[in-house]
Every structure is written in structure tokens, then in C-alpha cells.
Structure 1
Amino acid sequence: MSSHSPHGQSPLRTVQVLGGGNAGSSAHVRSLAAGLVARGVRVTVCAPVEADHTYDFRGAGAEHVHVPRSSDPASVAALRAACTDVDLVHAHGLHASFRAVLALSGRRTPLVVTWHNRAYAEGARAHLLRLLERRVAKAAAVVLGTTSDLVDRARRTGARDARLAAVALSGPRPAAEDPDRPRPKMRAELGAIGRPLLIAVGSLERHRGYDVLLDAARAWRRRDPAPLLVIAGEGSLRAELQRRIEDEGLPVRLIGRRDDVGELLAAADLALLPGGEESRSVLAQEALHARVPLVAALAGAVRELVGDAAELVPHGDAQALSEAVVRLLDDPERCERLRESGTRQAATWPSEDDTVAQVLSVYDELTQPLPMI
């Protein structure tokens, strides 16, 4: 592939624009930057300074330019300056993409957009998001969607060219079935000695389905011993969920945002994904990689991601979720079959090399000069 110097001239100069939003897209940009730099591409990451502190884009060989998350004129001006004299701009997520559209106004710099997840809003904000989606889809030379649903959405919204993105799960993971992993210590820390440990991970927001999860926990609290459900994440529902846990005596702990999700999963008996139409759920991918049986609500693109390697239940059905958990806790053979099918399913997902190769091929298409007739 003619990636880094398609014209046999200077290296390709690219800007990656990140809103500093979810961990999945931030880790993806870090991985992508490292892969592009290794192939001779010059990369500047425009993201909030906090994102650089967490993901160390400079450590991947990229330059970092601080661009705040807002779309105010100062942020757009900073991004516009960073995009001067580059060959291509690649924005990740809806809000970062909209800032890139504003910053590139009047320029002919090609814009690639990756939609990692569908954006959420209610009421008047939902209408605004649809307008942003349309503006971004029409302005982008190529829209990459992480699931076929997002690709279809981009096409319906006016994208000229929408394709399925190869997106790898980035970052280190604990080795599956590692005999030295600190499982007993983690279980003791969480209070799950002598009882099953269930893990859910994600922001404490309405669309994640935690109300359904607490309803399910109410049903299995009568078991002896009662499984302990640990939820890692932070968000606007924290106080409301904590109040329910205390009022109803639920065997549930909220442990806040954690940076050791791999270790939490390694200690767990089951991973739970109660809702949230995430396009490529990081928890689902981590669970299958770590050989932890997964119970997931049928929402978003979960079936496309996990195939038959998880116990899937109807979205919003607390009874079905509770019954699936109890069934798996009582059926070690079924759990082992899910571990095996999870390993096979994870092997079909794109690698980080696959991701970089696809992105480079798109960059080449958009930056190579047209052949002389």
C-alpha cells in the first residue's frame, strides 16, 4: 500500500479530531495515531488537554493541540489553525465532526468521519442532533460507521460514501484465564467472597438500562447466596440509583468510574449489558476477550457484535434478564460453552493492524492525484 507518501513526496499530513468523549473512541484514536505514525504518516491529534493526559497521544508519536469540547468560535478557530496545510482531516464522533465541518468551511481539505456510536438526546436536543448529523454526513468525503446500522443511518442522512469501519478493541487486556491474575483479591475488595459476582460497566445515564438491571437484582436477591452486582461508572443517575439500592435492600454496589475494568471482569462470574444502544460495546468485547459469560439486552448492534457468544434477552425485560442470570449461575456447562464461543467470536473482530490498513486505504483514495488521461 502506498500509504505514507502516495505521491512519492512528503509524508501524508493528517489531523485527528476528538471531542474527548467516550473511552472507546479515545482509545481508538490513540491506537490509530500510533499505527499511522509507524507507517510514516504525520499525525496531529486535536483534543481537550485532559484526553491527552489520559491517552498520551504524544507517546504514540503524534503532536497534540488542545481544542476544547465546545463549538464556540475560539475552539473552531483553534481547530481551523491546526488544520492549515494538512492533506486530510479525520474526525471521531458527532460533535468533533461538526467542529471539523465548521473549521474546514471554505477549504477543500478532505474530511473523513467515524461514527462510533449513535448520539443520544431527548426533546428539542434530539432535533438539533439530527440537524448536526445531516450537516456532517453531507460534508464528509467518507463516513465510516462502526456497525451496519450506523452505516445505514449515515446513508439515510445524506452521506455520499458510507462504509463499515474496521474498529479494533484497543489497549492492553488481561490474559484470558491467567492463573496469576488477582481474582481473589479483587473479589475480596468488592465484597464478593463466597457469592457470585456480576459486573456491569458504563455511564449512569438513562439509556443504559440500569433501572431494568435493578429490577432484575430485586428478583435474584432471594437466592442463597445472593449474587453481588457491581456497577462501574459515573453519571447523572447516581443518587437515584443509590436511593433505590438502599430503599429496596438490593445486593448492588456502585463503585464509580474505574480504570481497571479488565481486572474487574477477570474477577467476575458474569458480565451484564442491560441496555444502551452502543454500537460496539466495549464491555461486550472485553467480556468475550476475557472469557467471561455475557448476558446482554438486544439493543443497538449487540447481535452483530457478539453473534451467538452471549445470552441475549429482550431489551427492557427485567424478568428475562434475571432469569438468564440465574440460569447461567446454575449451569456451569452452558457458561463454558459461552466462553468457547466467545473466544471464537473475538477472533473474527478486526485487529489494530486491520483498522490502520483500512483507514490508510481511505486516506490514499482521497489524497492521491487523479491519473493523467
Structure 2
Amino acid sequence: MRLIEMTGTTAGGVRSHLIDVLGLLGADHQVALLAPTSVIDSLTDAELAGARTVPIQVSTRPSARDAASLALVRRWARSCDVIHAHTLRAGALAVLACIGLTDPPRIVVTLHNMPVGSTAVRATGEALFRIVASGADRILGVSPDLVAKAESLGALADLAIVPAAPDPTIAPTPARSQSPTLLTVGRLSHQKGLDLLLDAAEILVQSQPKLQWLVAGDGPMREALRAETEHRNLPVELLGRRDDIASLLRSATLVVQTSRWEGQPVAIQEALHAGAAIVATDVGGTGVVLGEDYPLVEPSAEALAAAIDILLDDDTLREEREKMSIKRASQLPTLAGLADQLTNELRLFPPLQSGAQTR
């Protein structure tokens, strides 16, 4: 079959998911990847898995370039069987490009983020969501709230399967640091609740004077966070982008997620595979990853600090949480599950081989 994979700017979990999808599709189907040049250039030949690359502008907000992008997608849509778009912007572009086609392709949109931020950002997101819901044949959301939102707008929707392959260098019996060390992994953006992280750190220094909080990741808030950390003299160290996450996970006493919203966070899946005790906010699809029995906290500095304090002071409770992580890791989604979902939702023939490897 002739398939289009389409995305806007990607990073983190969205990029990992795209690579998995390309790897699964590439063996038996003709795939074209329509994406910004920055995305295409960031992918290796192995990650592209034979996909033909077509540069396209998918801006974060409506712009004058959209007309050219619509024309390009429309041209490719005339000769394909399925468009699988990732992100709201790419999904809306796919829907609009196919309006009026005599024999339009099936459109499946995987949504990876709920629009959060300013009023303008949320309003734009709402408009894009309505376009996608009105024209997509199927929406796959990475979190229950995305699925519920799509269904409320009349779309057929289901929860996306988002596997994170375990890093073979991550040991399930980690060697923890002697001093209390917290680790947060993620993009330095508003969605990640990093203001809550700083406030929680300020609360914790009263009861945990030797605390060290490591933050691995890069993003638009880095300089502002650095300045705030220095101004408030907080025990928070911004590590920047790191390639040794496995080592950091092994040494952390606790892994902490402070996000205001998440899909199915890859960082939390990696922490589970590492057997780390986790404190995470109850937002988006975090509960999908951690499972029904794993304790979650509300997204507030006070709730985060209280949960962290309890686990740092109680070795037995922390060890129980580590055992929960190891057990949950064995239950996480697999590439085989993703292959089955893609076969069903994209209506692929021949069906994907569930044993395919991508990462």
C-alpha cells in the first residue's frame, strides 16, 4: 500500500513514536514522510526505514506558507491510500488538503499533545481540533483526555499504543546515590510544570537539606529556569540534553514528573524499566503508563513536595515503589501491539509483522 506519514516539528516521545511507526511500515509498504526539513535531517537512514522524504512547512500557527503546504499535501494525497498524520497541525493540514478529492485517502491522526498555555494557544488548538475531528476517519490520542475530547466533537477515537523499548543499559536493580537525588527528564517547556519543580524544591530544602534535584533536558525555558534557580539558591541542577539517561536513572533516588500535561511519557516508561521509584503528577496519560495501582499526585508544589518527602524518609516504602515499577514495566505496550493497531486503523494489507524491530 501507498502510505503518507506526516508530522510537524517533533521531539522526545513524538519523534520516538514516529521512528517506531516508520520502522514497522517500511518492510511491506511504500511510505513517504512529509515533514519539516529539521525533522527529516534529524533522522538516520535506519530510522527512516526506506521512507521517501518530502520537505514540507508545518508551522506551529497559521501562516502564509500554509497555501503551499496544502497544495503539496493535496498533490501527494491523490496517489496514496492512507495518510497518517501526527500532531494537530499536521492532522488539520491533511484534512483540509483532502477536501473535495474524488477518491480521498483514509485519514488517521495521532494526537500527541493537548494544547496548553496562553488563551491564544488554546483557541488555536481548539480550532485545529475541530477541523481534525470533522474530517479524520479515526483519531488516536495518546491520553484519555485527548480521546474524550475527540469523541465529544463527534470523532471516532481510541487510545494510541505508544511503546518505549527498554534501554539494554538500564539495569532493573539500580545502584542508587547515597545522598537524596531526584531526577526529572523532559523538555524545558511550560507543559512540564517546571515552576512547580522549583517551588517544590524550595519547600523540600527545609526537611531535606542535602537534596540534589537533577533536570535533564533542553528547551525554551532553560535560561529563565537557570536564573530563577540561582536567584532563589535552589538545589536544582540543569544538566541540559544528555545521552546518559540510563546512568542518571541508575543513580537517582527518585524519578519525579512535575508536568501539567503529558501523553504517555517516555521518560516515565524508561524509569519503570529502570525499576525506579516514581513521583508523578496525575495528568494526561501518565496514569495509562503507570497503571491503576501506582500512586499519583495533583500538579501542585505542595503535593509533590509531600510525596517526595515521604518516600525519601521511608526506605521500605521506596523499595515497595521500586518493585511496583519493575512489575509495571513488564506490562507496558510493545511494538507488537503497535503493529496490530496500525494494521487495524490504517487498514493495511499485508498486515504488519508484529515481530518487527525499529529501535
Q: TM-score range by the shorter chain?
A: 0.7 to 0.9
CA contact (8 A) 2:255 2:278 kept: yes
Distance 1:172 1:43, change over 3 A: farther
Unaligned segments of structure 2, at least 5 residues: 60-64, 352-359
Q: Is the 8 A contact 1:26 1:55 kept in 2?
A: no
Q: Which residue of 2 aligns with 1:364?
A: 347
Of 70-79 and 90-99, more deviation after overlay is shown by 70-79
What runs of 5+ residues in structure 1 fail to find an aligned partner?
1-11, 185-192, 369-373
Give the C-alpha shift of residue 137 in structure 1: 1.0
Report the alpha carbon displacement of residue 287 of structure 1 after superposing the two structures with TM. Answer: 0.9
Letter in 1 for 2:72: A
Tell whether the 8 Å contact from 1:228 to 1:251 is kept in structure 2 after alignment. Answer: yes
| Contact 2:173 2:274 survives alignment (8 Å) | no
**Structure 1 length-normalised TM:** 0.83
Residues 330-364 of structure 1: CA deviation (Å, up to 9, x unaligned):
22222221122112222222201110111112222
Three-state SS of the structure 1 residue aligned to 2:319 is helix
Question: Of 218, 225, 233, which residue of structure 2 is paired with 1:241?
Answer: 225
Seen in structure 2, the aligned counterparts of structure 1 residues 337 and 350 have a Cα distance that, compared at 3 Å, is same
Q: Do structure 1's residue 51 and structure 2's residue 45 form an aligned pair?
A: no
Q: 1:298 aligns with which of 282, 300, 305?
A: 282
1-structure distance, mates of 2:210, 2:33: 47
SS in 2 for 1:96: helix
1:149 aligns with 2:145: yes
1:62 maps to which of 42, 51, 54? 51
For residues 259-313 of structure 1, the C-alpha deviation after alignment (integer angstroms, 9 at most, x for no partner) is 4433322332211111221121222111111111110122223223212564422
State how far apart, in whole Å, the 2-side matches of 1:140 and 1:57 are. 30
1:103 aligns with 2:89: no
Q: Supply the AA of the counterpart residue of 1:46.
A: L
Cα gap change, 1:56/1:309 in structure 2, threshold over 3 Å: closer, same or farther? farther
User: Which of 154, 158, 179 pairs up with 2:154?
Assistant: 158
Q: CA deviation at 1:77?
A: 2.9
SS at match of 2:260: coil
Q: Aligned partner of 2:313: which letter? A: D
CA distance in 1, matches of 2:15, 2:349: 24
Q: Give the fraction of aligned pairs with identical amino acids, expressed as a percent.
A: 33
Are the counterparts in 2 of residues 204 and 235 from structure 1 also a CA contact under 8 Å? yes
Q: Following TM superposition, by how much is the alpha carbon of 1:178 offset from its aligned partner in structure 2, in angstroms?
A: 6.8
CA spacing shift, 1:171–1:93, aligned 2, 3 Å: farther
Aligned to 1:319: 302
Letter of the 1:299 counterpart:
V
Structure of larger gyration radius:
1
Task: Give the distance between the partners of 1:113 and 1:269, measured in 2 at CA.
Answer: 38
State which drifts further: 274-283 or 199-208.
199-208
Counterpart for residue 354 of structure 1: 337
What is the CA-CA distance between 1:53 and the residue it aligns to? 3.1
| Cα distance between partner residues in 1 of 2:276 and 2:109 | 33
CA distance in 1, matches of 2:68, 2:46: 23
Find the counterpart in structure 1 of residue 245 from structure 2: 261
Match of 1:21 in 2: 10
Q: Trace 1:1-373 onto structure 2 (pairs within 5 A).
A: 12-38=1-27, 40-56=28-44, 59=47, 60-70=49-59, 72-107=66-101, 108-159=104-155, 161-170=156-165, 172=167, 174-177=169-172, 195-222=179-206, 226-307=210-291, 310-316=294-300, 318-364=301-347
Shift of residue 54, structure 1, vs aligned partner? 2.6
Query: Following TM superposition, by how much is the alpha carbon of 1:365 offset from its aligned partner in structure 2, in angstroms?
Result: 7.5
Equivalent position amino acid for 2:309 in 1: V
Whole-angstrom CA distance in 2 between matches of 1:62 and 1:222: 54
Cα 1:230–1:290 change in 2 (3 A) is same
Deviates more, 1:219-228 or 1:335-344: 219-228
- The TM-score, its normalising length taken from structure 2, stands at 0.87
Aligned Cα root-mean-square deviation (Å): 2.6
Is contact 2:264-2:288 (8 Å) kept? Answer: no
CA drift of 1:135 comes to: 0.6
1:313 counterpart SS class: coil
SS of 1:254 mapped into structure 2: strand
1:204–1:116 Cα change, 3 Å: same
Q: What CA distance in whole angstroms lies between the structure 2 residues aligned with 1:273 and 1:224?
A: 19
